Amino acid sequence: MGKKNNEVMNLKRGKMSNESFINLSMLAVLILLFALASIFINNYFGVPTALNLVANNWYYIILGIGVTFLLVSGHFDLSVGGTLAMAGMLSAYFVQDSAEGFSPLASGLGMGYGWAIILALICCMLIGVINALFIAKLKVASIIVTLGTMSVARGIAEVVGLGAQRSANLPEIYGKVGNLSLVGPIKIAAVIAVVLVLAALFVEKKTVFGRRTYLIGANQEAARLSGIKVERHIALLYILSSLLAGITGILLASETKAAISTRGAGYEFNALVVTLLGGTSIDGGFGSVAGTVVGALILGVVSSASFSLLLRPEWQFIMKAIVTFLAILAQRYALDRRSR
């Protein structure tokens, strides 16, 4: 309730809300990092680089939408990386022609592309249902349950893909969807990410569903007493998160025209990082999809700058960690100063 009281006091004083303050602060961090990278890297500053940031980080943005809503409600979802891999693998297996003489990795169920995608997404949503059953109904800690379902989904991807990849005997349409270019490096996947972000912002700001998500995160018992069906709401959030992970996995598989069993390893942690970078509270009740988008772009700048500076992979990990820690500490310090 302290966060809510601080919000009210700030509004009475004519100050912007804490959410707007954090979003603008992280936008300033993004601009600063982009400017620093432009100083040290030739030809970094410009529209092409900005477009590449969106084109190369759309999957973190889509994953981050579901993770943001859950984190705002006070819950984790670490299953999205495994679900992503499972979606890509199942979609390939469902759509591959069934024919004798082919390698097991080139033979599937021979379904139509549309039906294959729908069935793969339904399977992903079942991961969300399992998460909801254990977390919302049985009250098991979300971090434990989603680590388990991450392994289940990853295991399904490994079994169906025989520990490798499915890239042969796929119909032409399978690779077209993810590679349809619109403007420069911007492909249809990035446009889908933008549309999903706009839809998420509308739900977050303008709907009862969004308000209920914040109320559950701020005080779950108060939300229950006010008539909100908390368990059902949390279940819907987990199903949504798994659906978004499935969409991401199918688009990634289409982009490379290959379903890889190990794809998405570590993406669940990066999705959590960009959400925290965007100012979403790990305690629930506070955050925004807009901030998550900024967080994804910050991570993108750090990654692309590290690569352009020819840093070794291990140093790239360290740089990401340092930027993440500094950004989160800066957010905490700024909010503490504001609340005085």
CATH of the domain at 43: 1.10.3470
Checking if the pLDDT of 261 tops 80, the result is yes
User: pLDDT tens digit string along 294-310?
Assistant: 999 998 998 888 888 77
DSSP class of residue 105 equals G
So what's the pLDDT on residue 279?
A: 84
Average pLDDT across the chain, whole number = 87
Residue for token pair 């984790």: 76
What residues does 166 pair with on adjacent strands? Answer: 259
pTM above 0.85, yes or no: yes
Q: 5 or 230, which is more confident?
A: 230
Confidence band, pLDDT 50/70/90 cuts, at residue 183 = confident
Q: Find out whether 52 and 185 touch, Cβ atoms under 8 Å.
A: yes
Q: Find out whether 138 and 122 touch, Cβ atoms under 8 Å.
A: no
Q: Find out whether 76 and 143 touch, Cβ atoms under 8 Å.
A: yes
DSSP 140-200: --HHHHHHHHHHHHHHHHHHHTTTSEE-SS--HHHHHGGG-EEETTEEHHHHHHHHHHHHH
So what's the pLDDT on residue 14?
A: 46
Checking if the pLDDT of 9 tops 50, the result is no
**Number of domains into which the chain is organized:** 1
Orientation angle between helical segments 18-40 and 2-12, nearest 10 degrees: 90
Instruction: Please report the beta strands in 21-115, taking only residues with DSSP state E, as ranges in sequence order.
Output: none
So what's the pLDDT on residue 101?
A: 59
Provide the domain limits for residue 122: 2-8+17-338
Checking if the pLDDT of 68 tops 50, the result is yes
Q: 60 or 320, which is more confident?
A: 60
Q: What is the arithmetic mean of pLDDT over 304-321?
A: 78
